Structure formats: C-alpha cells, structure tokens
Amino acid sequence: MRLVSRSPGETRRAARILARRLAGGEILSLVGDLAAGKTVFVQGLAEGLDIRERITSPTFVIHRFHEGRLTLDHIDAYRLAGPEDIEAIGAWEFLGAAGRVAAIEWGDRVEPMLDRFYRIRIEPAGPETRTLSLETIGGDVPPAFIEALAEIAAGHP
C-alpha cells in the first residue's frame, strides 16, 4: 500500500491517523535513509496516541518511551552493531507487549530478529515529497490498516 506525502505535515497526519487505529502490541519498522522522515512519522504516531512529550531522534539513547493512550517505544537501531543487539536493550520486555506500540527507526537492521511486524518505508521523491509504503510482514493486513488508509486518502484531519 502506497501513499504520497507532500510535506512533513502530511507525513505526520498519515502517521497520526494510523496511530489512532492501533490496538497495542504492534511493531512498526521504519525504513528509509538519513532525513527520509522516520522521526517525523514517529511524531505523528505520538500525536495519534495523545502523547504530549516532544519526540526527537533517539540516536544516542537507542530507546525512549512515552506514555499516551498506548505507550510508544521509540527505538533507533542506527547504532546497533547487529540485529542481536536489540536484545541488549531489553527489547523483548516491550516489543509486541500489550498496551505498547514500538516504532523502530532503521528497523531494517533488526527485522531479522522479528517475526511479525509492519514495515513503513519512506523514500524521497522530491525536496518535500515522500513515498510512504506500508507492508505487513508475518501476518495479514489488519482491517484497521485498510480503514486508516481510506481515512488518509479521504482527507480527514
């Protein structure tokens, strides 16, 4: 499933709408180069989960969490030496846990350790244009995702 975003605000909005439909236990792998918009997407997820705290790139911290309607675990896998390192940050305690949503920047680096997740790939298609593609890995596309995409396309706030 693909979407085109024409501004950071549109990327945040798409993520916000998606976040409102998350039930907890989801793992989102965010894939895209430097400055693709992964953190912008996580900011939108936070908005959709009613998180007030500011979301910044956690690069030096690897893992931060924020309380909202669901707890958002924000992970940056950029500095992990290998996929196994995800274990060293205690990830098995929270990845996939009820009442939590994980968003992993540079998620492709840890995907080999995950058996069920969503991949959101963000690719630049112009200075302010990004192609967002959503895939489900290891499971079916949940109806909530299809509903979210319909809502995004329909121009809801």
Binding site for ligand ATP (CB under 6 A): 5, 7-8, 10-11, 32, 34-40, 57, 105, 128, 130
Residues 114 and 74: their CA atoms lie apart, in Å, by 16
Residues 75 and 91: their CA atoms lie apart, in Å, by 9
Question: Which is closer to ligand ATP, CB of 27 or CB of 103?
Answer: 103
CB of 102 to ligand ATP, least distance (A): 16
User: Which residues of this chain interact with Mg ion, rule CB under 5 A?
Assistant: 38-39, 57, 105
The amino acid that residue 149 corresponds to is L
Residue 34 binding partner per list ligand ATP, Mg ion, none, with a CB distance cut-off of 5 to 8 Å that depends on partner kind? ligand ATP
Question: Which is closer to ligand ATP, CB of 7 or CB of 133?
Answer: 7
Residues 139 and 23: their CA atoms lie apart, in Å, by 15
Residue nearest to ligand ATP (CB): 37
CB of 27 to Mg ion, least distance (A): 17
Question: Which is closer to Mg ion, CB of 5 or CB of 39?
Answer: 39
CB of 124 to ligand ATP, least distance (A): 8
CB of 101 to ligand ATP, least distance (A): 17
CB of 92 to Mg ion, least distance (A): 23
Residue 29 binding partner per list Mg ion, ligand ATP, none, with a CB distance cut-off of 5 to 8 Å that depends on partner kind? none
* H helices present in the chain, as ranges: 8-20, 38-48, 85-88, 143-154
What are the CA-CA distances from residue 60 to residues 41, 76, 77, 78 (Å)?
Answer: 19, 8, 10, 9
What are the CA-CA distances from residue 85 to residues 51, 59, 113, 137, 152 (Å)?
Answer: 28, 14, 10, 21, 35
SS3 content of the chain, % helix, strand, coil (to 5): 35, 25, 40
Question: Which is closer to Mg ion, CB of 23 or CB of 35?
Answer: 35
